[in-house]
A and B are shown apart, each in its own frame.
Chain A
Amino acid sequence: MTEPASHAMHDQALQREAAGRWGAAVRISHPADGALEISPNPEVLSEVCGWLFHERGYALATVVAQERAQAWRLLYLFWGGPPAWVRVRIEMPLDRTSLPTIADRVHAADWHEREIEDLFGLSFVGHPRLGDFVLHEEWAEGTNPMRRSFDASRPPAAGSAGEPRWRPGRVVHAAGAFMMPVGPVFSGAAQASHFLLETIGEEVLRTIPRLFYKYRGVEKLAEGRTVDRAVLIAERFTGTSAVAHAWAFCRAVETIAGVTVPRRAELLRAAFAEFERFRHHLAAIAGIVHSTGMTVASSQADLLVEEALRSAGAAVGHRYLFGQVVPGGMYRDWRKDQLDELCRTVESLARRLDTLSRMFRFSSSFLDRLEQVGIVGRGQAEDFGLVGPVARGSGVEADLRTMLPYGSYRELLRVEGHVEQEGDGYARLRVLIAEAQESARLIRKAVARLEPGPVRVEIPAVPGEAIGWCEAPRGATFHWVRLDGDGRVARYRLTTPSFTNWHGFHLAAERFAFQDFPIIMATFGLSTAEGDR
């Protein structure tokens, strides 16, 4: 924890440097929430953001566009520090629809700006590639569903009759060049997404992903709902990390309401979130083994996944832990014997995972498929702001549980992070295995520390805005929420680890052999439900 005195010192240092560089072109304020807010003139926006990202080591959490009653307001939220949060704020009149890009300096903002351009109709001057991102050809040109004037109750577009009009901006021109389309419907059970693999013969030169086939407009659908109902959307837009996203949403709501969640609820949340990570990582490991075609090994890994699902179902009623986390705490409490049973299963599964991973290490045909495949360098991972096990496989220690501790990770639970350097498929697998083991340990620790007490407090309906964050199984997630006077959601901005990491997926899918594509996909372990929202 940062002492208030040193906090103020860091704050002042940052403030002095910004004032020294840009003088009157930036205004600096200290809102009540403890963040540092910088309001630059648009001409220096990109410079200020670039300075925070590259020189001061801040990471971009999210970009929030808001169409307020009087003006456009854009917030660029950076975390790192201290101070932990820096907010760069731009206001402009509603009739202005363009502002300078920051993606020229902060590449991590690239997709945020493309999304805002598509959904709000704001144009980012200097961005090299706007248009056709979230909304595909089914949508009439100029449709901006996140605008207040857009009627969200209208039925979906019927779809275009002809062939898709979409073409990549640039393609490889060479003798024998060929473009192999994959998806959005796959041969097995895979999430909808589309890829063009540009190849000459056996070698794939590069991969062009097209996403947002599953765009459900989650941010818009949440608007106007009470937090009690909106949490159901936060939980269900990506069912395999329900606890993490519900938790992040609830943390934003609880910050606005100014309530403290009871200690028992915080520990239960951590126990369930770690269980979810454990189960997710088991499934990701099973997916990697599948992609390499090891039949017996994948059956063995599948057994662990199903047993994890069953143990959740038996202990708390739902195999994917839906319905647990609600604003103010937990929906209900659980008895010690129910949680102890869960811990015992986790312990036995962790032991079996350990046996399997030792067997993997000596299966050369398995390692051959993973080593030196799908490499993401450390510098690339930093520039793209990658998160989660993908970033940690490339030497970037990015874990919100240790870097921006929340809930019971602040004091009660200490997380031992695990980082690998190589950035290839095998490094990512090792990170997944180590983290699954660490999660198994944390679940037991969280349950052991439970003391009797309440698990839920009332949430008063107050207006306000706040950000909630959580280290989801796939990486950092940020939920920014603004509530109106009735305590209903006025704006919900969701940045998910899959959204962030899909942005860097093409880095790993360059110059590889055809048969490695499923392996690269599996070691990234991303979800389009989570990315598309």
Chain B
Amino acid sequence: MSKWILRGLATGVKTTRYPRRHDGTPGISPGLPETGTELVFPEAAGAAAAVCPAGALEAEGGRLGADPRRCIHCMRCAWGSHAVPWNGGYEWARWAAESSSAKLAGAFGRSVHLRIVDAGGCDACLSEVTQLNNPYYNMHRLGFFVTPSPRHADVLLVVGPVTTHMRRPLLEAYGAMPGPRRVIAVGSCALTGGLFGPSFTASGGVAEVLPVDVEVPGCPPPPLAILHALLLLTGRGGEAEQVPEPGKGAAR
């Protein structure tokens, strides 16, 4: 066993300095289309919006409005002839408009236990949630833990569009949680149904089934975006030093 310990020590510290510092490492986030982009040829706004297969872009006069909740990261607007600018960054989590909950502050905010429900996700969101436990993100250092029982959970983290068959297990997991409890919807499927909902097999987002408190857009949202949601929920979301973000998260 000693060789493993030595190897671990030799690896050194890999953990991101976020949220104390902004993390601009290439490849940690695909970015999102910039909203309110002013186009060189304003009359092209309609055509640029039509490129989006998910209805996330909208022409508002000569500008292009972007709804990150609907974006499925197909990159067609970034790479196509209209070249809508995408910005890097990952602090995408927002309080849901309908949420009436307060943040989990004080004693509840420093040791938060998560219950993760896969309500029909494609595995990419879940994979990014899994990455939160790797040494690069190590969410334990910030007081976030995954719990094996809903009875010990403070936060329900839901991925996927909520399929017919997962509706009941999702409601039961939520019902088994003690208060105060909060719900985070992760990924565009969980926010709007994505490509799969609303349909005959899936809802148009977790909010149709449960009261959602924090939403994380992305297809999938990168680990730091999910971490940002947890920080937002516990009132620690605005602390990242606002160093200028790298011009782009994605290669052009």
Contact = CB atoms under 8 A, between A and B. Distances in A.
| Interface core residue of B5, B122, B195 (most chain A CB under 10 Å) | B122
Contacts of B197: 216
Interface residues of A, number: 78
A323 B27 contact: no
A514 interface: no
A323 B75 contact: yes
B118 interface: yes
Interface in B154-183: 160-161, 163-170, 172-173
B166 A213 contact: yes
Interface in A288-335: 294, 296-297, 299-300, 302-303, 305-306, 309-320, 322-323, 331-332, 334
A154 interface: yes
B7 interface: yes
Interface stretch (B40-48, B199-207, B229-237): B199-207
Contact of A214 (B8, B27, B118, B149): B118
A319 B90 CA distance: 13
B28 A310 contact: yes
A229 interface: yes
Contacts of A188: 116, 146, 148
Nearest to B222: A319
Contacts of B239: none
A359 interface: yes
B164 A139 contact: yes
Contacts of B26: 310, 313-314
A215 B125 CA distance: 17
B198 interface: yes
B201 to A, nearest CB: 4
Contacts of A138: 164-165, 167-168
A359 B251 contact: no
B72 A311 contact: no
B127 A283 contact: yes
A338 B250 CA distance: 12
A189 B160 CA distance: 13
Interface stretch (B56-64, B92-100, B130-138): B130-138
Contacts of B147: 187
A319 B164 contact: no
A152 B199 contact: yes
Contacts of B115: 185
Given A216-B163, A323-B79, A338-B251, A300 B11 contact: yes
A188 B203 CA distance: 24
Nearest to B116: A189
Interface residues of B, number: 79
B4 A296 contact: yes
A171 B168 CA distance: 25
B117 interface: yes
Contact of A185 (B120, B136, B169): B169
Contacts of B122: 236-240, 529
A228 B52 CA distance: 12
B220 A239 contact: yes
B30 A317 contact: yes
B165 A215 contact: yes
Contacts of A312: 27
A331 B25 contact: no
A449 B84 CA distance: 32
A192 interface: yes
Contacts of A363: 1, 4
B186 to A, nearest CB: 11
B27 A319 contact: yes
A335 B173 CA distance: 48
Interface string A215-227: 1111011000000
Interface in A453-505: none
B165 to A, nearest CB: 4
Contact of A239 (B127, B148, B163): B127
B190 to A, nearest CB: 13
A139 B165 CA distance: 9
Contacts of A154: 200
Contact of A359 (B4, B14, B73, B150): B4
A300 B8 contact: yes
Contacts of A190: 118, 126
B130 A189 contact: yes
Nearest to B118: A192
Most buried by B among A153, A159, A233: A159
B169 A184 contact: yes
B75 A318 contact: yes
B53 interface: yes
B251 A156 contact: no
Contact of B163 (A153, A213, A306): A213
Which residue, of A229, A316, A319, A331, has the highest number of chain B Cβ atoms within 10 A? A319
A510 interface: no
A229 B53 contact: yes
Nearest to A302: B134
A332 B75 CA distance: 10
A188 B157 CA distance: 11
A46 interface: no
A157 interface: yes
A236 B74 CA distance: 10
Contacts of A39: none
B124 interface: yes
B184 interface: no
Contacts of A320: 124, 127, 220
B195 A192 contact: no
B245 interface: no
Interface string A140-182: 0000010000111111111110001000000000000000000
A270 B244 CA distance: 37
Contact of B195 (A221, A242, A317): A221
Nearest to A138: B164
B219 A331 contact: no
Given A310-B25, A317-B30, A359-B3, A214 B120 contact: yes
Which of A157, A184, A188, A192 is the most central at the interface, judged by chain B CB atoms within 10 Å of its CB? A192
B129 interface: yes
Interface string B4-20: 11011001001000000
Given A191-B118, A236-B124, A303-B136, 4 more contacts: A218-B196, A306-B136, A311-B27, A318-B73
16 contacts: A153-B199, A154-B200, A185-B170, A187-B146, A192-B169, A215-B163, A233-B195, A239-B220, A294-B4, A296-B4, A296-B5, A299-B8, A299-B135, A318-B75, A319-B27, A529-B122
